């Protein structure tokens, strides 16, 4: 499968990145012109590399880079009209992996994209090996519940409990980090919402729904910090293991 590169570039910007250039390198290019399309593509296709063109959106660029980073771990390469050290530092601090100033040298862009994709492939391979060694993806048991990871289903005493995709992902994140305080921002990194964009308010809504469907005491609110999963999951069925915490 060809690596997918997502180019975020305002419609008013005259494209200076020809499609033929990406095709000649063996990449599939998808271009989006607004934020709604951006969130849709990030959730649906999970591109291997994001090219973020700031030519016509300098005021929103910093915020958008930070929001993109909260949704994906894949590399972000910022293309800017400014060859300014301050702009470069800010973009990198907000989560960009690399920065190029116009006018672009296509050969240099090719090398930078290749290096970012190679590093991401190496990280993905390493992560998969760690997950295999740690038993990641196995079924999880806690209290009377059975979280079937591969089938993406939750059971209580063999009775299925319907979960949305976002609810399942959030519950799975809690089972990976039990009895640890998880900030809303950290939970956002594990969750994708059907409307594309996940914010802190979305996390609160999903937690409320999980409390309605499961035992509400499983999800402890740590005021000013986030949430805590108040039980210890196991890879095999066992008795009650919840620790009641008064915060």
In the chain, count of helices (H) and strands (E)? 8, 12
Helix (H) or strand (E) holding 154: strand 153-156
The two three-digit tokens of residue 240, written as one number: 């009650």
Q: What tokens appear for 30 in the block?
A: 């998808």
As its CATH architecture, domain 140-229 has Orthogonal Bundle (1.10)
Identify the pLDDT of residue 128. 62
Domain ranges of the chain: 4-133, 140-229
pLDDT at residue 194 in the model: 44
For the packed helices 85-93 and 58-71, what is the interaxial angle rounded to 10 degrees? 30
Domain boundaries 4-133, corresponding CATH code? 3.40.50.2300
- The first and second tokens of residue 98, run together, are 């690399």
- Please give the span between the terminal C-alpha atoms of the chain, in angstroms, as a whole number: 49
Q: Nearest to residue 142, comparing CAs of 212, 210, 240? A: 240
User: Which of these, 50, 105, 114, 64, lies nearest to 83 by C-alpha position?
Assistant: 105
Which residues lie across from 52 on neighbouring strands? 8, 78
Q: What is the pLDDT of residue 134?
A: 46
pLDDT of residue 164: 87
Question: What residue ranges in the chain does DSSP mark as E strands?
Answer: 4-8, 28-32, 49-53, 76-80, 98-101, 140-142, 145-148, 153-156, 159-161, 181-182, 219-222, 226-229
49-53 and 76-80 strand pairing: parallel
Handedness of CA 119, 121, 125, 130 (dihedral sign): positive
pLDDT in the model for residue 13: 55
Q: What is the pLDDT along the chain (247 residues), one digit of tens a residue?
A: 678 999 998 655 555 677 788 888 999 899 888 888 888 888 777 889 999 988 755 567 788 888 888 778 889 999 988 888 888 888 898 889 999 988 889 999 999 999 999 988 887 776 666 555 444 557 889 988 999 888 888 999 889 999 988 899 899 999 888 888 888 888 887 776 544 455 778 889 899 999 999 988 999 999 888 999 998 888 766 544 444 444 4
Q: What angle do CA 155, 157, 160 make, to 5 degrees?
A: 30
């Amino acid at each position: 499968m060809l690596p997918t590169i997502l180019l975020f570039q305002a419609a008013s910007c005259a494209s200076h990145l020809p499609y033929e250039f990406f095709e000649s390198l063996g990449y599939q290019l998808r271009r989006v012109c607004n934020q709604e399309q951006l969130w849709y593509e990030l959730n649906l296709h999970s591109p291997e590399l994001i090219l973020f063109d700031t030519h016509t959106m300098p005021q929103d660029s910093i915020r958008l880079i930070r929001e993109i980073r909260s949704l994906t771990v894949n590399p972000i390469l910022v293309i800017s009209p400014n060859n300014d050290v301050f702009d470069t530092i800010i973009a990198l601090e907000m989560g960009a992996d690399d920065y190029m100033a116009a006018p672009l040298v296509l050969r240099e862009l090719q090398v930078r994209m290749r290096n970012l994709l190679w590093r991401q492939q190496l990280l993905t391979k390493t992560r998969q090996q760690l997950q295999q060694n740690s038993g990641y993806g196995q079924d999880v048991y806690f209290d009377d519940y059975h979280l079937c990871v591969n089938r993406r289903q939750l059971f209580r005493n063999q009775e299925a409990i319907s979960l949305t995709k976002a609810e399942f992902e959030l519950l799975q994140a809690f089972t990976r980090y039990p009895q640890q305080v998880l900030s809303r921002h950290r939970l956002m990194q594990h969750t994708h919402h059907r409307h594309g964009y996940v914010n802190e308010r979305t996390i609160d809504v999903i937690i409320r729904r999980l409390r309605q469907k499961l035992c509400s005491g499983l999800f402890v609110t740590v005021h000013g910090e986030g949430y805590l999963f108040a039980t210890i999951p196991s890879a095999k069925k066992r008795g009650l293991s919840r620790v009641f915490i008064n915060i």
